[in-house]
Amino acid sequence: MTKLRPIAVALAVAALVAVAHAGEPAKGKTLIPRDVLFGNPDRAAVRLSPDGKQLAYIAPLDGVMNIWVAPAADPNAAKAITHDKGRGIRSYFWAFTNQHILYLQDKDGDENWRIYSLDPRSGEAKDLTPAKGVQARIQEVSEKHPAEILIALNDRNPQLHDIYRVNIETGDKKLVMENEGYVGYLTDDDYAVRFATRVTPDGGSEVLERTPQGEWKSFMKIGQDDSLTTEPTGFDKTGQVLYVIDSRDRNTSAFATIDLKSSKETIVAEDPRADISGVLAHPTEKTIQAVAFTYQRKQWKILDPALEADFTYLRTVTDGDFDVINRTLDDKQWIVAYEMDTGPVRYYQYDHSAKKATFLFTNRKALDGLPLAKMHPVIIKSRDGLDLISYLTLPVGTAQGDTARPAQPLPMVLYVHGGPWYRDDWGYEPYHQWLANRGYAVLSVNFRGSTGLGKQFINAANLQWGGKMHDDLVDAVKWAIAEKIADPKKIAIMGGSYGGYATLVGMTFTPELFACGVDICGPSNLVTFMEAVPPYWKPILDMFVARIGNHQTEDGKKFLMERSPITRVDKIAEPLLIGQGANDPRVKQDESDQIVKAMQAKKIPVTYVLFPDEGHGFARPENRLAFNAIAELFLAQHLGGPAQPIGEDFKGSSIGVPSGAADVPGVKDALPKS
């Protein structure tokens, strides 16, 4: 599936008999081990080489994710071609040489990505961006220039990414465009810089076109209301037709084309309920063949009649929502992935000519046959009439028929997504499965500000961090109580990034609603959060100001502090668990340190877990397992569900617990002895 190119950075899963909290028996309940849910997948990111002769994927090697390559005709003959022993490799792609793989890697979560070029035949990797403290991004890859790519690099100015043309065989690079203050550029298959985007003082944006003389002229002005739902995304084969995701003059973003000679815009596809969520383009002709919209579940709209037979067949192959994730240049072979809610992702190799799909493997074989729970899409009304697209998972055996209602209220975890410019979707979700397996109802809510549901829904969140965005979560909890899904005395709130902030807001703004909270890298002080954004976010800071608040004026600071959990620490009445990566460039460690120190000063108990080799979230499976082991015991302690003992889940982790280790049963004794 063709990726949509963003114009701004988005704030941006054998059975075991377990024991319950406090050492009580789990009454025979069989729990799915955490390492099955949160350990490394068997395989991920499956890709055919452009010529279709080789198949690559990411898989564990000695417990660390590395790149493996096999002949496409014999996937079982795969061999590891990288030998990383640290954080693992999470992002890669084939170069059009068919002889190189490019991958990205940072250090301990600092998000200063480096780009490496690897020759699978020799195993030799070349660091194309070796400068320290610099962030590299992939700008453009084209079959017209197989040995070269465009990258964006902030080596000259930490706030701005210049465009370079790099030879992936030699490492030689040449400056193409020095950034004069733009968020980013749109380039074409000939590696020409065609458009630039900048954020305007009101939080909107402006797209500028580069003239043949090398000057910039205004091409498109995008108001603040449309800034997260409108953007140019690429070109057709001729380079004379611009593809645009456009919400101007409508609520949801449509897929449109603009003839660059006549300036005529044509709407190609739209849905009144949801924004464009995916685009499928021909690998060489660049024609848009299908687009996806996701309201409750993903739906494809076919634009090219030649794909009708393919999609009709692919819908019969297996259950779930599918994506075409990879196609060879000759379009004869595809990789298709099927997402399900009660099982692993299923990968197929599809022979486009023969219209036949061959099963390859799943991403997590250990999930097969386990008691996984269905995810139910539900629509909850907010107090001011918005439809909150939400997802509810109940423990296996508790739902009454198809009603998605248990026989009696259950302990519940409100699991809040990050972003906030992101969204929850239907499908297999390890946290939902984990928590439901432990006996909890799990509810995820696309609160206002979530993406994919139209600009009115996103813009309803402007200046509403800790305001109406939190009201939506409260309304969802009250709905779950009214529907007799949730036991009102046993509700936890949990999330990471914005979800971590929402957790802190829940514990300080509406403490009577939650029995406990689990915050992962959430901002506690919106002023210091805004003041400490990474330098490469500075070009989009006006967008943050328009949507979160102004940290640069006294009135703005006062407003932000009113919405900051740090100012309401004395309201915390129930237990809180906090997890943080020491190298987080987005939400600095200081955000967690601040609230922990404030709670300690007021003698309010808090358990604080810190990982020195992590950034924004926990990438290393050893650290995920360690934190989730604590979280599981913590939730069991306060909600009453069963819990798997820590066992070996701290092994290999860098875990430290600066505060409150003794407050969660079993944690202090399991920590490594210094």
- The answer to the question of residue 197 being in a domain is no
- Identify the helix (H) or strand (E) that includes residue 155: strand 148-157
The pLDDT value given to residue 123: 85
The pLDDT value given to residue 25: 33
- The answer to the question of residue 394 being in a domain is yes
Q: Which amino acid, residue 516?
A: C
- The answer to the question of residue 547 being in a domain is yes
Average pLDDT over residues 294-307: 97
What pLDDT, in 10s, does the model give residues 405-420?
999 999 999 999 999 9
Q: Residue 430 belongs to a domain with what CATH number?
A: 3.40.50.1820
Cis ω before 420 (30° cut-off from 0): yes
Within 13 A of 285's CA, how many CA atoms are on the CB side?
Answer: 9
- The answer to the question of residue 334 being in a domain is no
Determine what percent of the chain falls in helix, strand and coil, rounding each to the nearest 5: 20, 35, 45
- The answer to the question of residue 405 being in a domain is yes
Identify whether the C-beta of residue 217 lies closer than 8 Å to the C-beta of residue 209: yes
List of residues 6+ apart from 165 with CB closer than 8 A: 148, 149, 150, 173, 174, 176, 191
* Helix boundaries (H) for 14-146: 34-38
Q: Is the pLDDT of residue 598 over 80?
A: yes
Nearest Cα neighbor of 185 from 144, 227, 216 is 216
Average pLDDT over residues 538-552: 97
Total tally of structural domains belonging to the chain: 1
The pLDDT value given to residue 73: 95
Q: Is the pLDDT of residue 28 over 50?
A: no
Percent of the chain with pLDDT over 70: 96
Average pLDDT over residues 78-107: 96
The pLDDT value given to residue 4: 39
The pLDDT value given to residue 10: 33
Average pLDDT over residues 424-436: 98
The pLDDT value given to residue 286: 97
Q: Is the pLDDT of residue 21 over 80?
A: no
Reported confidence tier of residue 402, pLDDT bands at 50, 70, 90: confident
Reported confidence tier of residue 400, pLDDT bands at 50, 70, 90: confident
Tell me whether strands 441-445 and 410-416 are parallel, antiparallel or unpaired.
parallel
CA–CA gap between residue 34 and residue 216 (Å, rounded): 54
Reported confidence tier of residue 9, pLDDT bands at 50, 70, 90: very low
Domain of 581?
Answer: 375-618
- Identify the helix (H) or strand (E) that includes residue 580: strand 576-581
CA–CA gap between residue 616 and residue 537 (Å, rounded): 15
Q: Is the pLDDT of residue 658 over 80?
A: yes
Average pLDDT over residues 156-184: 97
The pLDDT value given to residue 674: 67
Q: Is the pLDDT of residue 105 over 80?
A: yes
Q: Is the pLDDT of residue 7 over 70?
A: no
CA–CA gap between residue 13 and residue 124 (Å, rounded): 31
Q: Is the pLDDT of residue 513 over 90?
A: yes
- The answer to the question of residue 550 being in a domain is yes
Reported confidence tier of residue 433, pLDDT bands at 50, 70, 90: very high
Average pLDDT over residues 60-86: 96
Strands (E), 182-240: 184-187, 193-199, 205-210, 216-222, 231-235
- The answer to the question of residue 449 being in a domain is yes
What pLDDT, in 10s, does the model give residues 315-356?
999 999 999 999 999 999 999 999 999 999 999 999 999 999
The pLDDT value given to residue 29: 65
Share the mean pLDDT of the chain. 94
Average pLDDT over residues 511-539: 97
Q: Please identify every residue annotated as catalytic.
A: 497, 584, 616
- The answer to the question of residue 540 being in a domain is yes
Average pLDDT over residues 246-267: 97
Q: Is the pLDDT of residue 478 over 70?
A: yes
Q: Is the pLDDT of residue 11 over 50?
A: no
The pLDDT value given to residue 30: 84
Reported confidence tier of residue 17, pLDDT bands at 50, 70, 90: very low
